[in-house]
Every structure is written in C-alpha cells, then in structure tokens.
Amino acid sequence: MNAFLRTLAGFAILSTVVALHPWGSQAQAQSAAAIAAPEPAAEAVAKTVKRSVEAWLKGRHKVDSVSKTPMPGIVEVRLGKDLLYADEKGGFAIVDGQMVNLKTGANLTASRMETLQAIDFSKLPLELASKVVRGDGGKGKRTIAVFEDPYCSYCRKFRNVLFEMDNITVYTFFYPILRPESTTVSANAWCAKDREAAWDDWMLANKEPPQAPAGCNFPKDKILALGQSLGVQATPTIFIQSGRRFQGALSKEQMEAVLR
C-alpha cells in the first residue's frame, strides 16, 4: 500500500471513529448544517466575483449566490444547481476540476496538461507507421502522426478530414485496441503491396484489405508498447511536430489552425 492509499485508509478509519463516538453524530450534524447553508461572502467580495464570473460567461448565466467556504480566500459560486469556486478577487475559477483565468478565459489546467503530455516528435519510430504525403508537389511540409484503430468511427471521420488536406505528411500507426478483428485488419493493411492505399480503402470505403501473405510481420507488439509509453488510451490520438497532442476527430479548420 503506497503513502497515498495509506492516507485514504487513515481518513476512512478516522471517519468511522467519529461516527461511532458519542459526539460523532453531533459533529456530523453541525458539518451537514454548515454545508447546507453556507455563510454569504462579504458584500464587496460577492459583487467582485459575481461581476467577473458573469463577464466570463458573457451574460449567458447569472450568479445566484457567492458564499464562503472552509478554504481561506476561496468562495463558492452558485449558478442554479451548478457550483464553481473562485478566488475572492474574481481573477480565477475552478470549474469541473479545471482552473480558468476569468479575465482571459484561458484554461490553465488544460495548458499545463498539454505541456506535460507533449512528446519529442523526433524520437517517434516512424518505421512502425504507414506514411502518406498529400499535396505540395509531394513534399508535404506539415507533418503529423496519428494512432488509429480500424474499427474506430472517429478515426474514419478524421481520415476523411486528412484526405481533404493539402501540403501534409501523415504517419499512421495502426493501433488495434478496440476489438480482436482490429488486429486482423491492421495486419492485412500493413502487409498489402500499397499499405497506405489499403488503409485508406478500409477507413474511407470499408473495402477490406487482401489477406496478408504468409511470413509477413505486422509489428503489433511494438506499436502497442509505443502507444502505451506515450499514454495513448483512445483513438484517434494525434501528435504534431511540436510534440503537442490532440485527441478526437478534429475538423479541417481545427487542423489548419494547430498546424499554422
């Protein structure tokens, strides 16, 4: 049991002791009452936070109340039956576990996670990927890598987007994680005479690739190990040359924006 789990276990034991002790029920009742009826924040704080949150929401929602919390400097903001938390100066808020700059709208948590999840694109073993170059006289100066499963509907949607793009080089890692048949289709496409065309035919037209010849080796284990080392848990997962990661079927407009 690691330190974190030991801490959780300790809290669980303490909660049980409190509940069983004669004064436990009284303490819990007082705590429940405090949660049910939080103390309103100071008027100046409430006005500042209300103004900042409503400006961030561009008038779409109104703040119903601003209340104190047990955490110094942090207030509860109620919008109907939804809650978020903000600092008393109205500069930042925590929404669904994400820290947001209320003045700029920037999601600071997402930005930080993007940095943490970035990779060194130059170290990708591109020999394990299928390569296709589109446009710009066969140069395809903009380069991406994408992990796709042949039975992933979002991958098919994204493949259509890539088919419409110009001046791009796409490295596709056949990443069979959704069903047993994914391995068969991936291996057959990998072993085809024209693996890029075979993959596109399957993803765009549902045309099955020919049976892989005997002795052809699809590097499934290496690709799966690579994906796991990069934290690829869903498809499509896209990496651009800067190392930034994107997940899901981005639109053509979104792809053009991130590749600028």
For the segment 172-219, what is each residue's pLDDT rounded down to a tens digit? 999 999 999 999 999 999 999 999 999 999 999 999 999 999 999 999
With a cut of 50, say whether residue 71 has pLDDT above it. yes
| Burial degree of 199 (CB within 10 A; 0-12, 13-18, 19+) | buried
- Average the pLDDT over 141-157 and give the result: 96
Range with the lowest mean pLDDT among 56-60, 97-101, 134-138? 134-138
Say if residues 50 and 102 touch (Cβ distance below 8 Å): no
Average pLDDT, rounded, for the chain: 88
